[in-house]
Structure 1
Amino acid sequence: MLNRLSRPTALALCAAPVIALLAVAGFAPLPFSVAQPGPTTNVLGKSDGKPVIDISGAPTRPTEGKLRAVTIVATGPDASVHLGDVLDGWFAENRAVMPRDAVYPTGDSTKEVEQHNKQEMKGSQDAATEAALSYLGKPSKDIEVDLQLGDVGGPSAGLLFSLGIIDMLDGDGSGGDVTGGKSIAGTGTIDAKGKVGPVGGVSLKVQAADRDGATVFLVPKAECSDAKASAPKAMKLISVSTLKGTMTALTNMEKGSGAVPTC
């Protein structure tokens, strides 16, 4: 003869495996990274007590305003991300949850990722220098440019490096500053021919720029929608695709005439 279980007892027995599963899921590491706005650095200033841009072989000019390279900070490839972290990231406006493989190559350790980012940064710096000197029509063999941004790696500061080099060597070409005295932030890779490419985490980078006082943000054209999603109404978003186009847009913005492509 079978004994009937009361309804509360039956529900408790059925719920037990679910509760156990949720408990395990809560502590199990998940294949995600959680990113948030990182620090910004004025490439016309200093980092770790040293000039971000150091130029020799040509006279430089004093600059005003700021060109802020922006970053994001993400949990490392060796870090454990749990269900609670993911849920917090999904519901927080200043965080983003991304597949770990989209942030770090599969199987890479923190040390390998750092080495990879340093190599990308070096390539980006070389391209930024070549693009800037080519824009100015100056021979690269006579001018040496040393770029450093502390522990920041990756290629996303390329556009800002090129603009900083141009500002220090020539300004806007008519005696003024590239920035027009403003605090301008931005992101974007750049190749030696001056083509600007997209990067990741733009919505978070816009938040970092706003936090640190930037009023203008330079956005790779393909990522305008991401920037608009988090930018305050007071921030001007300029859509960029080439170094020459960026310089034209900044000059026109300062003059108050001519085209300034915005997001």
Structure 2
Amino acid sequence: MSESSTRTQGPGGPRPRLTRGRVLALCALPVVLLFVVALCAPLPYSLAQPGETANVLGKRGGKPVISVEGTRPRSEDGRDGRDGKDKGRLLSVTIAATQPEATVRLPDVVRSWFREDRAVMPREAVYPGGGDTRDAERRIAQEMKNSQDKAVTAALRQLHVSPDDVDVTLRLGDVGGPSAGLFFALGIVDKLDGDGTGSGGLTGGRTIAGTGTIDGKGEVGPVGGIPLKTQAARRDGATWFLVPKSQCGEASAQLPSGLRLVPVSTLDGALDALEEIRTDGKIPRC
């Protein structure tokens, strides 16, 4: 037998050869394991959707959202005290988000990503400062209190009314955060002064929604969740939406049909815009 035909075997016999399929399977295994971990691992996100709206000229829980004492309001319900024909609404809008402790996994994110009525937001953006639900509720309640105080200051300043002459109470139940500030201020102005003529309210009978923070000088600031808030507004009958001017682009991206954006940057500018809406005048556009 020639040397070329001789095979030498080790003590354990011939070693099995790795086929191409086995190699690919071994290489794919870590990827599969990582994918399984990714599916099961909680992610630092919150899921949000359009929330409730609240008419700041109406009632909540059987009580007026805005009550004024110490000076005679234009009417008890924030509408025209003379003829009662002003049936318009000023809708403050919200988003509804998962709680800080809620477990959000990759499938939840993927499903929400492809729905216009859902949003995936960094948890820190929804609940700054971290913590559990109780911590978040305390912070959100404090933000709402600060927002209300600023709204009262801005509205009374706009009307040149001394805080010593009027006592304003604001109620929105379990709604929190600072984004209702602008509409609180508008509601207070409507209660005390209406459209300024003594014969009607700010809405002219229309349903107008919107959002925006406000400071004591009447400056309007940006808020989160604008696309979801426009959906909530249109769902509940609004045809106009007051939006912080700096967020026109964000609001326009997924604007529901039948809803028109009106950019505002100050309380004074918002009141001017409402006048143009009432009179079918030159209404600002995004």
Same fold (TM over 0.5): yes
Give the secondary structure class of the aligned counterpart of 1:11: helix
Q: Give the counterpart of 1:19 among 32, 37, 43.
A: 32
Match of 1:69 in 2: 92
- Partners of 1:85 and 1:58 in 2: CA distance: 52
TM-score normalized by structure 1? 0.95
CA deviations on 1:196-225 (whole Å, 9 max, x unpaired) are 111111111001111111110000001111
1:198 aligns with 2:222: yes
Larger radius of gyration: 2
Match of 2:177 in 1: 154
Tell which deviates more after alignment, 87-96 or 203-212.
87-96
What is the CA-CA distance between 1:4 and the residue it aligns to? 2.3
Match of 2:164 in 1: 141
Counterparts in 2 of 1:189 and 1:107: CA distance versus 1, 3 Å: closer
Q: Give the counterpart of 2:56 among 25, 31, 43.
A: 43
Q: Give the counterpart of 1:126 among 144, 149, 156.
A: 149
Match of 1:100 in 2: 123
What is the CA-CA distance between 1:229 and the residue it aligns to? 1.1
1:115 aligns with 2:133: no
Q: Give the counterpart of 1:168 among 173, 191, 209.
A: 191
What is the CA-CA distance between 1:163 and the residue it aligns to? 0.7
Give the secondary structure class of the aligned counterpart of 1:72: strand
Q: Give the counterpart of 2:252 among 222, 228, 233.
A: 228
Match of 1:178 in 2: 202
CA deviations on 1:146-166 (whole Å, 9 max, x unpaired) are 001111111100010011111
| Root mean square deviation, CA, Å | 1.5
Give the secondary structure class of the aligned counterpart of 1:146: strand
What is the CA-CA distance between 1:104 and the residue it aligns to? 1.6
Matched-pair contact (CA < 8 Å) for 2:194–2:200: yes
Tell which deviates more after alignment, 180-189 or 21-30.
21-30
Give the secondary structure class of the aligned counterpart of 1:177: coil
What is the CA-CA distance between 1:106 and the residue it aligns to? 4.1
What is the CA-CA distance between 1:119 and the residue it aligns to? 0.9
1:88 aligns with 2:111: yes
- Partners of 1:79 and 1:232 in 2: CA distance: 29
Counterparts in 2 of 1:79 and 1:183: CA distance versus 1, 3 Å: same
Counterparts in 2 of 1:9 and 1:90: CA distance versus 1, 3 Å: same
What is the CA-CA distance between 1:18 and the residue it aligns to? 2.0
Match of 2:237 in 1: 213
1:30 aligns with 2:43: yes
What is the CA-CA distance between 1:12 and the residue it aligns to? 3.2
TM-score normalized by structure 2? 0.87
1:238 aligns with 2:262: yes
- Partners of 2:182 and 2:169 in 1: CA distance: 15
Counterpart of 1:141, as a letter, is D
Aligned residues: 262
- Partners of 2:258 and 2:231 in 1: CA distance: 12
Q: What residue ranges of structure 1 are gaps of 5+ in the alignment?
A: none
- Partners of 2:212 and 2:94 in 1: CA distance: 11
Counterparts in 2 of 1:130 and 1:102: CA distance versus 1, 3 Å: same
Q: Give the counterpart of 1:56 among 46, 69, 87.
A: 69
Give the secondary structure class of the aligned counterpart of 1:141: helix
Tell which deviates more after alignment, 127-136 or 180-189.
127-136
- Partners of 1:229 and 1:129 in 2: CA distance: 32
- Partners of 2:55 and 2:20 in 1: CA distance: 66
Counterpart of 1:42, as a letter, is N
- Partners of 2:115 and 2:257 in 1: CA distance: 20
Q: Give the counterpart of 2:213 among 159, 180, 189.
A: 189
CA deviations on 1:50-72 (whole Å, 9 max, x unpaired) are 21111111222251211111001
